[in-house]
């Protein structure tokens, strides 16, 4: 891991790194907030609880660090924040930067199976690789790691958590793309990255995954938290929180889906409710 820059922040440090990502086959950037750099500070047996944040379309490893306003509460709760980039960069695939909702900045946290994307666009595996890397390098506590995200990153967080509840103990989202197989963003991304066989899309669709869990114990008995603004211009066409809500109800998965009048899709909305997400995760991760 190459440290690119670091900045003192709320008694801890906000860092930016680059590393060679095996899943991607290219260098990737990510940022971390470490609440206290003293060895063993504020954590158990020298291991730090951590929270991954997956950002949305057009974002980078900087977006949440700059706009989310999360570091003060993360410092109070002793949580490491991990903020990966949202796609491979510099894959040099024709058309990669033609659209803001597909290609660069729009990796959708899936492992592409369709050429030419399949050579580098493997963001699902990349997040798991980064988690394992930082467990070693930053002494993250494997047993106390949570995940959250926004929009495309909310979709990624829900999918990564639902498929790996043994790796992520808590999950929440802001305005997630909750049923991507059914919306234009998801159809475009899944069609391009995974091909036209929609059965292969279901493994990356949080609502489909939740439906498949009916009859099994709820993977997150402490609940899933979702905040959604009602003035969000993408709500009706792209997000479908009600589909995920119904799937949770049918599967017996506790869900707090909070609908907020007047809030849109952007970082003013996220920064308003981010403290409650951090406290929610800290509470879940503190349990045994
Ligand atoms: N360029 C788009 C708007 C793109 C956008 O709103 N991106 C969101 C995530 S959307 C789903 O993943 C975002 O987080 N943007 C970063 C920010 O700083 O707000 C358009 O023209 O509408």
- For ligand 1, what atom is nearest to the CA of residue 55? 14
Q: Whose CA is nearest to atom 2 of ligand 1?
A: 100
> Is 176 close to ligand 1, i.e. is its CB under 6 Å away?
no
Torsion of Cα atoms, 105 then 73 then 255 then 263, to 10°: -60
Q: Locate the ligand 1 atom nearest the alpha carbon of residue 153 and give its number.
A: 12
CA of 278 to the centre of ligand 1 (A): 22
C-alpha to C-alpha distance for 24 and 43, rounded to whole angstroms: 31
**239 is written with which tokens?**
């997000």
Q: Is 173 in the pocket of ligand 1 (CB under 6 A)?
A: no
Reduce the DSSP state of residue 210 to 3 states and report it: helix
Neighbour-count burial of 258, counting CB atoms closer than 10 A to its CB (0-12 exposed, 13-18 middle, 19+ buried): exposed
**Top mutation candidate among 53, 54, 59, 69 for ligand 1, by most atoms within 8 Å of CB:** 59
10-30 pLDDT tens trace: 999 999 999 999 999 999 999
Confidence of residue 197 (pLDDT cuts 50, 70, 90): very high
- Rg of the chain (C-alpha set): 18
- Pocket of ligand 1, candidates 53, 55, 57: which has the most ligand atoms within 8 Å of its Cβ, to mutate? 57
Percentage of the chain modeled with pLDDT above 90: 94
Contact 57 CB / ligand 1 (< 6 Å): yes
Provide the CA 276 distance to its chain's centre, in angstroms: 16
ipTM score of complex:
0.96
pLDDT in tens, 43-84: 556 789 999 999 999 999 999 999 999 999 999 999 999 999
User: Which ligand 1 atom is nearest residue 59's CA?
Assistant: 16
| Separation between Cα atoms, residue 156 and residue 1, nearest integer Å | 24
Q: Which residues of 191-222 are buried (b: 16+ CB within 10 A; e: fewer)?
A: ebbbeeeeeebebbbbbbbbbebeeeebbbee
How many Cβ atoms sit within 10 Å of the Cβ of residue 95? 11
Catalytic residue numbers read 151, 232, 265
The predicted-structure confidence for 74-115, as pLDDT tens digits, reads as follows 999 999 999 999 999 999 999 999 999 999 999 999 999 999
Question: What is the model's pTM?
Answer: 0.97
């Amino acid at each position: 891991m190459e440290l690119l820059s670091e900045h003192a922040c709320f008694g801890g440090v906000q860092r930016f790194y680059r590393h060679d990502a095996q899943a991607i086959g290219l260098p990737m950037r990510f940022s971390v907030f470490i609440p206290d750099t003293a060895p063993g500070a504020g954590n158990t047996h020298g291991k730090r609880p951590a929270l991954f944040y997956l950002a949305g379309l057009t974002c980078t490893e900087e977006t949440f660090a700059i706009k989310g306003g999360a570091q003060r509460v993360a410092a109070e709760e002793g949580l490491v924040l991990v903020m990966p980039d949202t796609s491979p960069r510099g894959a040099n695939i024709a058309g990669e930067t033609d659209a803001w909702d597909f290609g660069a900045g729009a990796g959708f946290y899936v492992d592409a199976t369709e050429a030419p994307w399949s050579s580098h666009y493997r963001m699902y595996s990349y997040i798991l690789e980064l988690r394992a890397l930082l467990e070693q390098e930053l002494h993250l506590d494997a047993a106390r790691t949570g995940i959250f995200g926004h929009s495309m990153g909310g979709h990624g967080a829900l999918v990564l958590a639902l498929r790996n509840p043994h790796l992520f103990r808590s999950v929440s989202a802001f305005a997630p793309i909750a049923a991507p197989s059914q919306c234009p963003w998801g159809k475009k991304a899944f069609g391009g990255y995974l091909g036209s066989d929609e059965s292969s899309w279901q493994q990356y669709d949080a609502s489909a995954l939740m439906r498949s869990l009916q009859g099994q114990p709820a993977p997150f008995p402490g609940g899933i938290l979702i905040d959604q603004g009602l003035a969000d211009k993408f709500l009706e066409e792209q997000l479908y929180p009600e589909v995920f809500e119904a799937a949770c109800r049918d599967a017996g998965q506790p869900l707090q889906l909070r609908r907020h009048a007047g809030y849109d899709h952007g970082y003013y909305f996220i920064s308003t409710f981010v403290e409650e997400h951090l406290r929610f995760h800290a509470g879940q991760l503190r349990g045994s």
